[in-house]
């Protein structure tokens, strides 16, 4: 008797993909082929043919402890047997309560309250809504948000409004909330920024300032001055402007500290978290705030509450993943690995920063970036050639225009890092 074979299985997965799927950040008429990834382990992705790729960007800065980490899988697997999902409005559960207790221990010490959501965009969306409604609840008309030039805070409407990268937001600009933008601080421009803010603050219309502390991820890992940011935050706090740190990318050890905000004396009123929060296993967002922010919503008036909710708010499985990830982050092994990668980046940088084809390099913690001395479109042909070069050689890196950056998992080995470095060197010679 002949075995019946499903005809779908005879087709390549990439061909089946084309029938129904619409991928993010993709113009399908130009880029129609999708690489089928069948599994992942540690710092390595495997495609359908068994080829290996070192995940040099932790799958968009999420899988910082590597893929399919056994400890995280164990904890989430156990939670699956106990409680998978429950509404978080009117109910609570141990994983959410325990996560709040453990996160408060490592967050900047002014943070007291946690509001769960689904992803990084919603985490920042909630931070924006908190800032606007905070002043509304106090009877103040403050309807302007302050943000850095070239910032990126997500793809929902409030998050897009405060983002400064038109490549993502152009068609929607007419629908945005009002935003004033300032450049990121440097030693040369900080006094000009502060003087400009002094004038703007006299209008008393700025509700909040949202910023990526020290590293602007989507702006090609553009880095700025901690001392200058500290001065900006201090001035804004004097004028009761709520400060919103978007740590979706920078959070959980990537900068060498638990949070980039730990480099500044002035702590944010609100912090937005996602990505490495759950180690890349399941989606979750988190917006934390001070007691002062929370108290503006704590009222006998129902309408003063924060009426924002998501079906999967504080999903128990996501909370279990986040708890396991946080435990790993605090281990000596992971902290030692972070310091190793920091040192390896420095050694690599020492040998390459003066290359004539490189215009600049920069590093903060495990985040490393270099700019090629050539003009290049963000998603143009030369960038695509670089991407193909890396993938052909078993390294997953996503250049942003002429910027090549590394943000590999904390568990990446020296041999794997050397492979990443060697491929960057050969890519430079290819340009």
Q: Give residues with Cβ within 8 angstroms of 196, minimum separation 6.
A: 182
CATH topology agreement for domains 71-329 and 331-430: no
Rounded CA separation 45/14 (Å):
16
Would the CA dihedral through 379, 398, 164, 159 be positive or negative?
positive
Each residue of 220-234: pLDDT tens digit?
Answer: 999 999 999 999 999
Which helix (H) or strand (E) element contains residue 47? strand 44-47
CA–CA distances in Å: residue 89 to residues 38, 116, 294, 306, 313: 37, 11, 17, 12, 9
What would the mean pLDDT of 189-202 be, rounded to a whole number? 97
What would the mean pLDDT of 176-187 be, rounded to a whole number? 96
Rounded CA separation 414/82 (Å):
39
**Predicted local distance difference test score (pLDDT) of residue 171:** 84
Q: Flag whether pLDDT at 281 surpasses 70.
A: yes
Rounded CA separation 11/15 (Å):
7
**Pairs from 95-98 (Cβ < 8 Å, separation ≥ 24):** 95/314, 95/316, 95/319, 95/320, 95/323, 96/314, 96/316, 96/319, 98/319, 98/323
Terminal alpha carbon distance of the chain: 58
Q: Which CATH architecture has domain 71-329?
A: 3-Layer(aba) Sandwich (3.40)
Q: Flag whether pLDDT at 5 surpasses 70.
A: no
Q: Give residues with Cβ within 8 angstroms of 101, minimum separation 6.
A: none
Cβ pair 285, 119 in contact under 8 A: yes
Q: Give residues with Cβ within 8 angstroms of 64, minimum separation 6.
A: 58, 252, 253, 254, 276, 279, 280, 325, 409, 410
Each residue of 362-419: pLDDT tens digit?
Answer: 999 999 999 999 987 776 788 899 999 999 999 999 999 999 999 999 999 999 999 9
CATH of domain 331-430: 3.90.1150.10
**Predicted local distance difference test score (pLDDT) of residue 375:** 83
**Environment class of 141 (CB within 10 Å of its CB; exposed 0-12, middle 13-18, buried 19+):** exposed
The vertex-107 CA angle with 104 and 109, nearest 5°, equals: 85
Residue ranges of the domains in the chain? 71-329, 331-430
């Amino acid at each position: 008797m002949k075995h019946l074979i499903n005809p779908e299985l005879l087709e390549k997965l990439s061909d089946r993909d084309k029938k129904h799927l619409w991928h993010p950040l993709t113009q399908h008429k130009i880029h129609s082929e999708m690489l089928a990834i069948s599994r992942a382990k540690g710092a390595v992705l495997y495609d359908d043919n068994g080829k290996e790729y070192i995940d040099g960007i932790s799958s968009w800065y999420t899988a910082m402890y590597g893929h399919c980490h056994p400890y995280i899988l164990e904890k989430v697997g156990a939670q699956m047997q106990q409680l998978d999902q429950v509404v978080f409005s009117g109910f609570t559960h141990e994983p959410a309560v325990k996560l709040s207790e453990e996160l408060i221990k490592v967050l900047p010490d002014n943070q007291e309250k946690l509001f769960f959501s689904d992803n990084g965009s919603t985490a920042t969306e909630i931070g924006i809504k908190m800032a606007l409604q905070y002043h509304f609840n106090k009877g103040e008309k403050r309807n302007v948000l302050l943000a850095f030039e070239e910032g990126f805070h997500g793809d929902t409407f409030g998050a897009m409004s405060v983002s400064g990268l038109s490549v993502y937001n152009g068609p929607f600009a007419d629908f945005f909330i009002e935003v004033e933008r300032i450049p990121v601080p440097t030693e040369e421009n900080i006094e000009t920024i502060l003087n400009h803010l002094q004038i703007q603050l006299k209008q008393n219309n700025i509700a909040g300032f949202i910023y990526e502390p020290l590293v602007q991820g989507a702006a090609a890992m553009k880095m700025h001055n901690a001392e200058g940011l500290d001065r900006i935050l201090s001035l804004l706090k004097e004028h009761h402007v709520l400060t919103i740190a978007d740590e979706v990318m920078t959070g959980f050890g990537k900068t060498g500290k638990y949070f980039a905000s730990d480099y500044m004396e002035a702590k944010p009123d609100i912090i937005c978290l996602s990505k490495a929060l759950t180690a890349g296993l399941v989606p979750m967002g988190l917006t934390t705030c001070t007691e002062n922010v929370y108290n503006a919503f704590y009222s006998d008036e129902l309408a003063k509450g924060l009426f924002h909710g998501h079906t999967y708010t504080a999903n128990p499985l996501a909370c279990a993943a986040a708890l396991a990830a946080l435990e790993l982050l605090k281990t000596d092994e992971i902290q030692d690995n972070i310091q190793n990668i920091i040192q390896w980046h420095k050694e690599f940088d020492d040998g390459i920063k003066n290359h004539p084809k490189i215009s600049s390099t920069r590093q903060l913690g495990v985040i490393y970036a270099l700019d090629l001395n050539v003009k290049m479109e963000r998603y143009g042909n030369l960038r695509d050639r670089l991407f193909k070069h890396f993938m052909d050689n078993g390294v997953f890196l996503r250049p942003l225009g002429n910027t090549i950056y590394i943000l590999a998992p904390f568990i990446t080995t020296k041999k794997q890092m050397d492979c990443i470095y060697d491929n960057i060197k050969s890519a430079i010679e290819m340009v």
